[in-house]
Amino acid sequence: MNLSKVTPMIKQYLSIKEKYADSILFYRMGDFYEMFFEDAKTASRILEITLTSRNKKDEHPIPMCGVPFRAAQNYIARLIDNGCKVAICEQVEDPAASKGLVKRDVVRVITPGMILDDELLDEKSNNYILAIACDNAIGLSCLDISTGSFRVYESKDFLSVIDEALRISPSEILLPESIKNAPLFFQINNALSEKSITFLDDKVFEYRKARERLIKQFKTVSLEGFGCEKLKAGVSAAGALIFYVLDTQKQQLDHITGIETYKLSNYLIVDDISSRNLELIKNIRTGSKPGTLINIIDRTITSMGGRLLKTWIRYPLIDIDKIKLRHDAVEEAKDNIQVRKRLRESLKSVYDLERLCSKICMGHSNARDLIALKQSIQSLPDICSALSLLQSELFKLTLNPDRLYGPANLIDSSIREDAPLTVNEGGIIKKGYNKELDGLINLSQEGKGWLARLETREKDATGINSLKVRYNKVFGYYIEIPKTHSEIVPANYVRKQTLVNAERYITDELKAYEKKVLGAEERRSALEYEIFNGIREQVITNNKTIQHAAQFLARLDCLLNLAEIAEQNDYNRPQINTDGRIIIEDGRHPVVEKMIAGERFVPNSINIDNDDNQIIIITGPNMAGKSTILRQVALIVLMAQMGSFVPAKKASINVTDRIFTRVGALDNLSSGQSTFMVEMEETANILNNANEQSLVIMDEIGRGTSTFDGLSIAWAVAEYLHDLNQKGVKTLFATHYHELTDLAQKKHRIKNYNIAVKEWNDEIIFLRKLVEGGTNRSYGIQVARLAGIPEYVIKRAKKILYNIESRENKLNGASIPPDRQHASIMGDHDKQQVQLNLFKQPETFVIEKLQQLDISKTTPIEALNYLNELKEKLKKNEHRTSNGKR
Ligand code: ADP
Ligand code: MG
């Protein structure tokens, strides 16, 4: 573009745009934000608004589009949603006072992680921006500027950092420029691909500067008090975040007063895949809330409580004492129905104090925010008095509400309840709060009477009854007289405007008056704005107390919520133990029990420990309820450790350090990736990280590959989990490979269970009851009939099955290579039937057992029992064969 040719305005535009190349520049012109050049093309496409051009006749017209200033929010939200950043460029001097082009500058950059407006934020979710920095270790820091929540974490384990980033699920990520070519970046990018990544100069991440920035922000001398002095990479990441926020927001961040250093080893870790499989926050298929745990257990009243509850789900505790404190509180609140109801009622008038506080600190608040703050504080006395009726440690007041009453009274005496959304048009401050303001208000109110009097006087003087004194923005005050009376207008009237039927006049008197009144109106708005800011400043000095109150109320809301849902959903208090046992009596799946219509949810009991019942293999036909019981155990453990009561008659839960889940490829159709590969990666992760304090859920692993591979992998994985570190890992293993039940004979901590079904008239009835022992039937055809497969196909399938099974019997003992068995037209399920002798046959088993037996050391009774066991084993085989021949 030839710069000598462009107008001064475009020149100004370009020089500003240059500094904000990666953002869409909203250039303020009067009542509009205008966009030019490429920005205009992008924005008009995303916002579906008309693309025009600025100088149509020119050889190279400049593309342009615009949105009204007052409706900008909406448009900004849509651009942000589409991964854009928006730089807001305002007129920074009064257009009336300026000579020539009005000065303009960017006052704020809005990015996905830098949103403060309530309308653009989900009230029950945090909006985190995340930074990652590398040193000897990898540091990760996240900040929600809308709440002031600021945390830092460091680890040498790269995968754990990625996983933590996913847990935080930020809306924006900051990375140092130089990472772009590192393998690390590709992994980050892979894992967090949809997120918006912003690269910053490496200097921004430089440790020393980053540390200084933090110290300055927190007004401390070191970071010792926050426990992150030694975390070089963590501090670098946190410092980069502060840089970015200051740079984009261009203002102080008084509400960010500290940073929390945390360790994942203090929490029960549920990796990202597992939390997706368990559908804690998001439905695995739809990505939305229905069908999730949060949807069932979130009855919080405040947004702060809602956000905290999500944090509790993501970070369940492992400190027994802390878990018990929560249970104590939930129990007390559950039992004290009256107090609970009263407290929950009071919480309804508590607004989002965290976000209010941030808005007030950052100067984005209006009078309504102050009113909301006041009303929230005003509900404290009632909350405090209700709390005094409760004993639990977590209900003890840790805040001094007296310190908040001052600000509340200040707001009460000064801010009008009906204040407008804008802060510079007056109407904010109550009468009686400020003398000067009252004087100005009187003046403009007296003015109305004066005008009426003037009108009457002029009517009388001129004898024109239709004479009106009126006001408009363009002409100010004027006298309007119908044209029919033009002749008799007095000489001191000066004509200003001619309409079709009337003429408009001014007089000196009217102009003098106008000056006084309009001046007063303007002075009034300015003064109100000034007073409002003063009040805001005073309120800010209490920001730490407000934040503290916010945290306390959020926790209170969560605990009351857990009590409420415990009552509504019939949950009971779990015991927490360290003896390695997970004992659940009559447990239910918290979500499925609410989803099944018509059918009653059948509770199930289960014991898992590190001695005899460590690996529970659960078999049963499709649709029997295997996946449900697996997830239900994991959810009950997680709920117990987050402080919730659990859907079970009784439960005693060993403090679990990690929950891993692996769900077979077909149960999890959501991704288009090579499912088998993903499955194996996830399995590897479990095998490398689980220990005897962990809980592993294996749901149909091996499904993603051929039956033989799958069965072999499932078998080997189960063995490995049993033998891991000679201690093994508590595992629930659902499988349709009923051959796996043979494992229980080889490995003593493995036990077989199945979900009972009843056969009735060639149909099956699901009993949903977990019972001891394995199964050897899949009932695939019956399930297919239930699903509505046409009778013809069912009959045909039965016939094929019959053929296969008779062939299997012929094959028994014969050495047909597995690949030949594969070469058939049968489906996977049918093939399984052919593979019964893949693993050790009962005969071999019996022979081996006899060889092992030392008769000289065996009592007659033992020998008899032994014989009995061998006979049982053979009987089982007979049973299989006869089943096959049916
Ligand atoms: P599987 O994994 O064995 O194929 P699922 O666990 O997916 O079976 O369960 C299938 C359906 O059966 C569930 O969607 C639910 O509707 C129902 N179901 C499962 N467990 C129970 C139960 N204990 N009580 C009642 N219905 C259940
Ligand atoms: Mg299943």
Q: What per-residue confidence (pLDDT) applies to 820?
A: 34
pLDDT band for position 883 (50/70/90)? very low
pLDDT band for position 190 (50/70/90)? confident
Q: Which whole-number Å values give the CA distances from 58 to 1, 11, 15, 879, in the listed order?
A: 13, 16, 21, 91
What number does the ligand 1 atom closest to the CA of 630 have?
A: 6
What number does the ligand 1 atom closest to the CA of 600 have?
A: 25
User: From the CB of 738, is ligand 1 less than 6 Å away?
Assistant: no
Centroid of ligand 1 to alpha carbon of 624 (angstroms): 6
Whether 750 contacts 735, CB under 8 Å: no
SS3 of 664-693: the string is CHHHCCCCCCCHHHHHHHHHHHHHHHCCCC
Nearest ligand by distance to the CA of 618: 1
User: From the CB of 602, is ligand 1 less than 6 Å away?
Assistant: yes
Task: Reduce the DSSP state of residue 800 to 3 states and report it.
Answer: helix
Strand order in the sheet with 32-36: 52-53, 63-68, 32-36, 24-29, 86-91, 104-110
Nearest ligand by distance to the CA of 667: 2
Centroid of ligand 2 to alpha carbon of 633 (angstroms): 14
Half-sphere exposure in the Cβ direction for 609 (13 Å, CA) = 11
Sign of CA dihedral 592, 595, 599, 601: positive
Centroid of ligand 1 to alpha carbon of 834 (angstroms): 28
Helix 380-387 crosses helix 337-347 at what angle (to 10 degrees)?
160
User: From the CB of 619, is ligand 1 less than 6 Å away?
Assistant: no
Strand order in the sheet with 658-663: 269-270, 658-663, 695-699, 730-734, 615-619, 750-760, 763-772
* Alpha carbon distance 78, 881 (integer Å): 65
Q: What per-residue confidence (pLDDT) applies to 257?
A: 92
Compute the average pLDDT of residues 295-304. 97
Centroid of ligand 1 to alpha carbon of 601 (angstroms): 9
Centroid of ligand 2 to alpha carbon of 646 (angstroms): 22
Residues 6+ apart with CB under 8 A from 216: none
Which range among 138-147, 466-475, 662-671, 853-862 shows the weakest confidence by mean pLDDT? 662-671
* Alpha carbon distance 159, 682 (integer Å): 12
- Is the predicted pLDDT of residue 822 greater than 60, yes or no? no
pLDDT band for position 832 (50/70/90)? very low
Residues facing residue 30 across a β-bridge: none
* Alpha carbon distance 335, 355 (integer Å): 32
Q: What share of the chain is helix, strand, coil (3-state, %, to 5)?
A: 50, 15, 35
Compute the average pLDDT of residues 582-607. 94
Query: How many beta carbons lie within 10 A of that of residue 769, not counting itself?
Result: 15
Which range among 23-27, 167-171, 312-316, 855-859 shows the weakest confidence by mean pLDDT? 855-859
Which range among 315-329, 511-525, 619-633 shows the weakest confidence by mean pLDDT? 511-525
User: From the CB of 666, is ligand 1 less than 6 Å away?
Assistant: no
* Pocket test residue of 628, 765, 786 for ligand 1, highest count of atoms within 8 A of CB: 628
User: From the CB of 626, is ligand 1 less than 6 Å away?
Assistant: yes
Residue type at 683 in one-letter notation: T
Task: Reduce the DSSP state of residue 737 to 3 states and report it.
Answer: coil
Compute the average pLDDT of residues 202-225. 95
Residue type at 501 in one-letter notation: N
* Alpha carbon distance 540, 283 (integer Å): 40
Nearest ligand by distance to the CA of 619: 1
CB neighbour class for 621 (10 Å; exposed up to 12, middle 13-18, buried from 19) = buried
Strands 658-663 and 695-699: parallel
Does the model's pTM come out above 0.85?
no
* Alpha carbon distance 504, 763 (integer Å): 93
Sign of CA dihedral 182, 186, 188, 193: positive
Reported as a single tens digit per residue, the pLDDT across 423-432 is 888 899 999 9
Strands 86-91 and 104-110: antiparallel
Nearest ligand by distance to the CA of 589: 1
Which range among 348-362, 661-675, 758-772 shows the weakest confidence by mean pLDDT? 661-675
What the block records as the tokens of 444 is: 């403009």
Centroid of ligand 2 to alpha carbon of 625 (angstroms): 7
Question: What mean pLDDT value characterizes the chain?
Answer: 87
* Alpha carbon distance 246, 356 (integer Å): 19
Q: What per-residue confidence (pLDDT) applies to 704?
A: 61
* Alpha carbon distance 851, 845 (integer Å): 10
Centroid of ligand 1 to alpha carbon of 623 (angstroms): 6
What the block records as the tokens of 364 is: 């984005």
Whether 90 contacts 67, CB under 8 Å: no
Centroid of ligand 2 to alpha carbon of 431 (angstroms): 68
Compute the average pLDDT of residues 114-126. 85
Q: What per-residue confidence (pLDDT) applies to 60?
A: 81
Compute the average pLDDT of residues 779-795. 79
- Is the predicted pLDDT of residue 307 greater than 50, yes or no? yes
Which range among 594-608, 637-651, 832-846 shows the weakest confidence by mean pLDDT? 832-846
Share of the chain above pLDDT 70, in %: 91
Whether 170 contacts 128, CB under 8 Å: yes
Nearest ligand by distance to the CA of 586: 1
What the block records as the tokens of 408 is: 């509340």
Q: What per-residue confidence (pLDDT) applies to 702?
A: 73
Sign of CA dihedral 414, 420, 426, 431: negative
Residues with CB under 5 A from ligand 2 (ion): 627
Task: Reduce the DSSP state of residue 183 to 3 states and report it.
Answer: helix
What number does the ligand 1 atom closest to the CA of 604 have?
A: 23
User: From the CB of 768, is ligand 1 less than 6 Å away?
Assistant: yes
Element (H, E) at 674: none
Nearest ligand by distance to the CA of 624: 1
Whether 213 contacts 243, CB under 8 Å: yes
Centroid of ligand 2 to alpha carbon of 735 (angstroms): 8
Going through 407-501 in order, the beta strands assigned E by DSSP cover 468-472, 476-482, 494-498
Pick the more confident residue, 853 or 497: 497
Centroid of ligand 1 to alpha carbon of 518 (angstroms): 74
Whether 192 contacts 165, CB under 8 Å: yes
* Pocket test residue of 623, 661, 775 for ligand 1, highest count of atoms within 8 A of CB: 623
User: From the CB of 628, is ligand 1 less than 6 Å away?
Assistant: yes
What number does the ligand 1 atom closest to the CA of 620 have?
A: 3
Residue type at 232 in one-letter notation: K
Centroid of ligand 1 to alpha carbon of 681 (angstroms): 27
Half-sphere exposure in the Cβ direction for 663 (13 Å, CA) = 21
* Alpha carbon distance 664, 680 (integer Å): 10
> Which has the closest alpha carbon to 734: 689, 780, 701, 762?
701
* Pocket test residue of 592, 622, 779 for ligand 1, highest count of atoms within 8 A of CB: 592
pLDDT band for position 815 (50/70/90)? very low
- Is the predicted pLDDT of residue 128 greater than 90, yes or no? yes
- List the residue whose alpha carbon is closest to atom 13 of ligand 1: 625
CB neighbour class for 649 (10 Å; exposed up to 12, middle 13-18, buried from 19) = middle
Reported as a single tens digit per residue, the pLDDT across 719-737 is 989 998 889 999 999 987 8
Half-sphere exposure in the Cβ direction for 797 (13 Å, CA) = 16
DSSP H stretches of helix in 100-157: none
- Is the predicted pLDDT of residue 47 greater than 80, yes or no? yes
Task: Reduce the DSSP state of residue 437 to 3 states and report it.
Answer: helix
- List the residue whose alpha carbon is closest to atom 23 of ligand 1: 602
* Alpha carbon distance 766, 757 (integer Å): 5
Reported as a single tens digit per residue, the pLDDT across 619-636 is 988 888 999 999 999 999
User: From the CB of 821, is ligand 1 less than 6 Å away?
Assistant: no
Share of the chain above pLDDT 90, in %: 58
